[in-house]
Structure 1
Amino acid sequence: MASRDYHTRDTSKPKRDSDSHSRRALESPPRHRLSDDRVAVHHRDVQTLLVDNQRLAATHVALKQELGVALQDLRHLSGVAGKVKAERAAEVREVFEKAVKMEAEVRVVDELRGELVKVGGDVKKLGVENKEFVEKVRETNGEIMKERAKQQEFEMVKGDIEGMKQEIQKGRAAIEYEKKVYESNLEQSEAMEKSRVSMAHEIEKLQADLANAHKKAMAAAAAAATNTPGYAAGYGNHDVGYGANAAYSGPYVAHQVPGGVNPQYVSQGPYDMQHHMVNPHYVPGPVPHGPYDMQHPNAQG
């Protein structure tokens, strides 16, 4: 459009030049000057036409280029139109497929509605059955609680039975222990009886030895008195002190059996040699009943 406007402006210039030339021709009266002026005007017109031709050629080239660009744009737009048409066709196809699917889904939904109505009826029936089941469960829970109470009572009775069994076992153990203690005490009593008899024999022998020693001492003192009268007086005093010492014969007298020694326990011969090995200060202690007395409360419990 710019080239076309430019061409119109260029074509208007020769008209103005021709007008100015005509005015000049009217003003200049000589003919030779008129011919020169015509040649000059013609030359100017030719130059103007050449310039216009060049401008037209440039405009033609520009229009050609614009035409090529327009053709390229047209081809591009044709390709874009094809793509858009294909996309639109794909979209239409997709919309159609979606419509078909939605129609199928609508049919399925209608079917599901019918099934939903049936399921609603079934749910109501199940609700009624659930209530009945809950009632049965409550009854069952009540029975279970009763059984648990009975089970607890059974456990208590079982615990009492176990306690009684333990008490019986303790009683049996106490009886067995009493039997063992009785047997042990019986054995200790027999041993103590034997020890008492042996001690009686020992005491009797010691008393006899003491009497013999006293007699020997008295005889020796009498013999010494006859030989040395001064020594006899002192020895007589010493004998009095010796006879008066009750502590010497005290332990032996304390261990004498009341009523004298039974003659059947008097031993003779080699047995008297063994009595010197017995400790004359041995005193038989009481029979130990401590362990039994300590365990007896357990036996009673």
Structure 2
Amino acid sequence: ECLAATQEDLCRLPATGAEVKVERDAEVREIYEKSLKVDAEVRVIIAMSVKLNWVRADVQELFVPTIKVDLEAMLHEIQRGRSVIEFEKKTHASNLEHRHAMDNNMIIMSSEVEKLHTEPAIAEKRARVAMAADAKPSPRYLPDKHDNREMGYGYVRYRHSSYSMYHMQVGVDSHSQDTIGAPFHHSYDHQRTQVPR
């Protein structure tokens, strides 16, 4: 029985080997086909990468001048913006300086206007005081009618200004020269000196 089983196995070995070979050949063929497919894909990728490099080179050649022009334009705009900012700063500083000067001038003008408003009131007040002083007779400078008769034309009054009154000696005689600087006497005492003894 064992021998028969062994012979049967030996008879089956070629068939089994053929089946294994067929399976192996199928696997190898599948692997080979996959390798061919991968190789084709790799070649396509390489070709695409080459084309991509060409496209990149063309793009750089086409757009580099444009990019340079754009960069120069941007730099020019930046420089122009800086110049405008500097000009605005200087203009602002100049406007502030002019404003301070105008404020100072306005303060000075306000002070002058205030003075002009107060000066007429002060002048009017002084004029009223002077008019009141002129209206009130002074016993020191205004002699009575008897002294006026004795003095004759020795003294006259004249107005020096709107604020003060002065006396000026215009007559020259011996009696007025003797009485210059002497105190005035009452008319009764003067008449007593004229009575003969």
- Output the TM-score relative to the length of structure 2: 0.42
Which one has the bigger strand percentage?
A: 2
Considering fraction of residues, name the structure with more helix: 1
| Highest RCO, 1 vs 2 (Cα 8 Å, sep ≥ 6) | 1
Superposition TM-score, scaled by structure 1 size: 0.30
Which structure's CA Rg is the greater one? 1
